[in-house]
Amino acid sequence: MSFDLRLHAYRLLMDEPFFACLSRKIEKKEDRSIKTAGVYVNKQNGQFEMIYNPEFLAGLPENEVKGVLKHEFYHLIFEHVTSRKPEGVPHKTWNIAADLAINSHLVGELPEFACMPGVGPFEALPKHESAEWYLKNITDDMVDQCQDPDGSENAAGGEGQPGEGKPGEGKPGTGQLDSHEGWDESSNSPADDAANQMAKERLKQAMKEAAQEASKSPNGWGSIGGELKKDIIKKLETKVDWKNVLRYFIKTSQRANRSSTVRRINRRYAYIHPGKKVKRQAKIAIAIDQSGSVSDEMLEKFFGELNKLSKLAAFTVVPFDTDVNEKLVYEWKKGKAFKAERVMCGGTCFDAPTDYINKRGDFDGVIILTDMEAPAPKACRAQRMWMTDERGASRPYFQTRERVIKID
């Protein structure tokens, strides 16, 4: 049975502009190894991804497909994906609590089997509470009566036997709608924490754009109620701590540089060849737009942020306008502080720093500090990010799928 998710995502645009805009920011992949659908953070790049079984969605009426999509997006809005599962709480119990919080906003829009406050084993529970509230108030008996996404029943926190049932089999209100695999798999490592932070910042930017889109039409917020709308807008007012994003960029762009040492002996040829010690060190370039359209005030902000960044790592500064003068390229050592300095004042061409980075070939990543007032550049061999102000982030000259960091 063929199924085109893009068609259903497009139909969201007609009825749910907020969700439609959010949908465009999330990569979607078919995955027939899961029974229903799910959303998670890709720990490699900090991107949100949605996976779905096309056969499951193809068997649903159109309004329920839209409901499932909104269910997944609500997991992002409520930060269930990037929040840690409370310590000591079984995986299944937390999944159910999160679903109950979301499904309260989707009454009549989901398959009948989806767990719902006021229905089936959750009949005594009120609607529109938080996942944390439901976690405190659901009982083991309620959890035991609830099916996993594969249609199997198991005890609270158990793994069950995947494939023994089908989604939707069983009593109304007793099934988990989607897979939450990967939500609480964080190893507590700095890289995983930073990936979650990166995802949060990306989501916040996507939600800001969705809110702006929704505000353009009377029905832009669609089925989102007034109180939830207020909560979302309030959430967006929180300032972004972009230093964590840069920290993630530095740590995930690292390459292993090997150096000789006698501290670790080569086991195969002991005392003949020295051992190898792996030092992980990122080589980062910061390309600073020095064109005339970048004001002195913005340049001051850029250098202010770079002084903060220098506390974390050393990097190479590449000033540019329509060209890169290699005589002006310099190394910014860790811990050093510099004042803003204008050394160029021409037009803007993002191909200039890109060509320089590609020609050097020894950078793990590049962050371009700019007002975004120039055409899109060519592809970069190193991982590339952008940093700009409110105006540059909201009205860039070109659209990019690369990370854009906004500074105040």
62-77 and 5-15 helices, crossing angle to 10°: 80
Burial (0-12, 13-18, 19+ Cβ within 10 Å), 2 = exposed
Q: What is the pLDDT of residue 89?
A: 86
Contacts of 243 (CB under 8 A, 6+ apart): 308, 309, 312
Beta-strand ranges (E) seen in 236-289 are: 255-261, 275-281, 284-289
Q: Please tell me whether residue 401 adopts helix, strand or coil conformation.
A: coil
Q: What is the pLDDT of residue 326?
A: 95
Tokens of 241: 């701590």
Tokens of 233: 């807008």
**pTM of the predicted model over 0.85:** no
DSSP state of 173: T
Local confidence pLDDT in tens for the 408 residues of the chain: 578 888 877 777 678 889 988 988 888 999 999 889 999 888 888 888 899 999 999 999 999 999 999 999 999 999 888 776 777 888 889 889 999 999 999 999 999 989 999 999 999 999 999 999 999 999 999 999 887 665 555 433 333 333 444 555 556 666 677 767 666 554 556 667 777 778 888 888 888 889 988 888 888 899 998 888 988 887 776 554 656 655 666 565 555 444 444 445 555 555 444 555 444 556 889 999 999 999 998 999 899 889 888 888 889 999 999 999 999 999 999 999 999 999 999 999 999 999 999 999 988 889 999 999 999 999 999 889 899 987 888 788 888 888 888 886
C-alpha to C-alpha distances, 79 to 72, 132, 159, 346, 361, nearest whole angstrom: 11, 12, 24, 44, 38
Q: Please tell me whether residue 105 adopts helix, strand or coil conformation.
A: coil
Cβ–Cβ contacts within 10 Å for residue 354, how many?
Answer: 22
d(CA 247, CA 194): 7
d(CA 159, CA 383): 38
